[in-house]
Structure 1
């Protein structure tokens, strides 16, 4: 499957580039950006994460794409889809996720990019549903999920975190292909 670049009115979802590594490493050490993740990432961990995301896109043609502003090609984070075949009680599933640089929060970029990724999931990949999840306290991401017309399904403990970890409890949202097409 060839890599598809996705464009919205203001954004471009694309394959990762060498120049994205420094900006993403800076994001990965920002305590506000990483508040709902288990830890800040070292430069090596940040680079390895990009390498994994890039490789997945090269292999299957989709994944967590780098997001840039169309008007100036500035990298602002990532949005996209990730296959979760076995990790969760609700697997197999495909999740949608996003992480944007703090300077670009509150401008509607996350829902705009995620809307395009959902359209790709349902129209190109022919998926029946897409899920999203985050920690209970991450109201900003839950607000994006609600803007996307995703429905809250349940709360669960993330299997990769110890049960007493402060971020272990997550909320699961989902949207079906039919629900997506009813509102779009």
Structure 2
């Protein structure tokens, strides 16, 4: 079982008792503002998403981790890696992603989890290049991306919603520099 411990977080595979707290996170319009999914606290939809994330672990050897606070055992959200199939121009690139409940914002958890995930991708999984995709104007995500040392690769638009997207990237040589 793949787990990563940081000073304050446990990044782990998903448990059955993660369903309700993740559905609550997905239901918060503040959290979902920058996604193209929109808020939904639907338990069935969240269960299907978690199932897809777990299947990606089985198929790809990576996926989205559940992010648990070590101090309390609370589920804070997710971080991890995925293949951005919605963006055909990404080709075979692997993207890093995160989503935390609003009560966990502003405490450095997203950066801590994303940094551990980036290291996992580049050093443990042997992925040569990792991208991050964010919507134009999402300054909180832009801050995390800057802290990861990623640089702007290109601008594009979401193929279905038309939202402007920024694609950032880092490769192993840049990461190690």
- TM-score, normalization by structure 2: 0.92
For residues 101-146 of structure 1, the C-alpha deviation after alignment (integer angstroms, 9 at most, x for no partner) is 1000011111111111111111111111100001112111011000
**Which residue number in structure 2 is paired with residue 52 of structure 1?**
52
Task: Judge conservation of contact 2:155–2:164 (CA < 8 Å) in 1.
Answer: yes
Structure 2 vs 1, CA of residues 153 and 59 (structure 1 numbering), >3 Å: closer, same or farther?
Answer: closer
**Partner Cα separation in structure 2 for residue 86 and residue 46 of structure 1:** 19
Stretches of structure 1 that go unaligned for 5 or more consecutive residues are: none
Give the C-alpha shift of residue 55 in structure 1: 2.3
**For 1:26, which of 24, 27, 31 is the aligned residue?**
24
Partners of 1:116 and 1:37 in 2: how far apart?
Answer: 23
What per-residue deviation string (whole Å, max 9, x for no partner) do you get for residues 21-58 of structure 1?
A: 00011111101000012211233212211111122224
Q: Which residue of 2 aligns with 1:13?
A: 11
In structure 2, the residue matched to 1:122 is 122
**What does 1:90-101 correspond to in 2, within 5 Å?**
90-101=90-101
The CA RMSD over aligned residues, in Å, is 1.5
Structure 1 position 59, deviation (Å)? 4.0
3-state SS of 1:127 partner: coil
How do 1:1-184 residues align onto structure 2 when only pairs under 5 Å count?
3-38=1-36, 39-41=38-40, 42-84=42-84, 87-159=87-159, 161-163=160-162, 168-182=163-177
Deviation at 1:162, TM superposition (A): 3.7
Calculate the TM-score normalised by the size of structure 1: 0.89
Any idea what SS the aligned residue of 1:21 has? helix
What CA distance in whole angstroms lies between the structure 2 residues aligned with 1:125 and 1:85? 20
The list of structure 1 runs, each at least 4 consecutive aligned residues, that deviate by more than 4 angstroms after superposition, is none
1:86 to partner: Cα distance: 7.7
Distance 1:129 1:59 in 2: 19
Contact 1:77–1:100 (8 Å) recurs in 2: yes
Task: Call closer, same or farther: CA 1:138–1:86 in 2, change over 3 Å.
Answer: closer
Label 1:162 to 1:102 Cα distance change in 2 as closer, same or farther (>3 A): closer
For 1:7 and 1:59, locate their aligned partners in 2 and report how far apart those are by CA, in whole Å.
23
Q: How many residues get paired? A: 175
